[in-house]
Amino acid sequence: MSTSTSTLELAAAWDDALVPRVAAGEDRAWRAFHRHYHPVAVAFLRKLGVREAELEDACQEVFVQAHRYLPTFRHEAQLRTWFYRLCVTQAAIVRKRGRRTRSLLTMFSCLSGTDATPPATHSDATVLALVAKALDGMKDWERLVFVLYEMEGLPCEEIAAIADCPLGTVWRRLHQARRAFRGTLALHL
């Protein structure tokens, strides 16, 4: 048994023991759940394109949904998979709202005609900005599988459960996302 497998099994056992306590309304269990999953939610929402200004509200909404629906959790999937699914749903809502807002702002603003950008350097900030731009350029379903596989390190079977699609679709979307990612980075490096 590898270390990562035993770690995953320990995490699943911890989740299995915690869920009934949270569902029963135990405050200490809820705080433990929140303390464990808050950094997971923040990091994952950020990777899914939720902007810093909207991040805390989106994270709070994920936990509101978790609190509301955790008592009905049926253990048909791992708790982590279920929790990622809540984040995916919330990220989609936030990104849709953000696209509408940006469209309206663009439509009503008086932008200057210059699109001059300074030459790119390869600093950490520049690379992070390029990665963010590459992720922003992906379709939501491409971004989801790319983030889950390449950044979160999840196996494709679990990604299929989170994305609610067949395993073959995950691989196809991952291939398309990688191509889009490479294409965006190639344009700017």
DSSP 113: S
C-alpha 34: how far from its chain's center? 17
Domain shared by 39 and 104, yes or no: yes
Domain shared by 22 and 101, yes or no: yes
Q: How would DSSP label each residue in 53-70?
A: HHHHHHHHHHHHHHHHHG
Confirm whether 2 is domain-assigned.
Answer: no
Confirm whether 22 is domain-assigned.
Answer: yes
What is the residue-averaged pLDDT of the chain? 81
- pLDDT, tens digit, for every residue of 58-97? 999 999 999 898 888 887 888 888 999 999 999 988 877 7
Number of domains in the chain: 2
Residue 41 predicted with pLDDT over 90: yes
User: What is the C-alpha separation between 173 and 162, in angstroms, rounded?
Assistant: 14
Residue 1 predicted with pLDDT over 50: no
User: What is the C-alpha separation between 91 and 85, in angstroms, rounded?
Assistant: 10
| The overall pTM is greater than 0.75 | no
Query: Looking at 108, 129, 164, which one is the last position of a domain?
Result: 108
Which pLDDT does position 166 carry in this prediction? Answer: 94
Side-chain-facing half-sphere of 94: CA atoms under 13 Å:
24
- pLDDT, tens digit, for every residue of 110-150? 434 444 444 545 566 777 788 888 888 888 889 999 989 88
User: What is the C-alpha separation between 37 and 184, in angstroms, rounded?
Assistant: 32
Domain shared by 13 and 36, yes or no: yes
Which pLDDT does position 84 carry in this prediction? Answer: 94
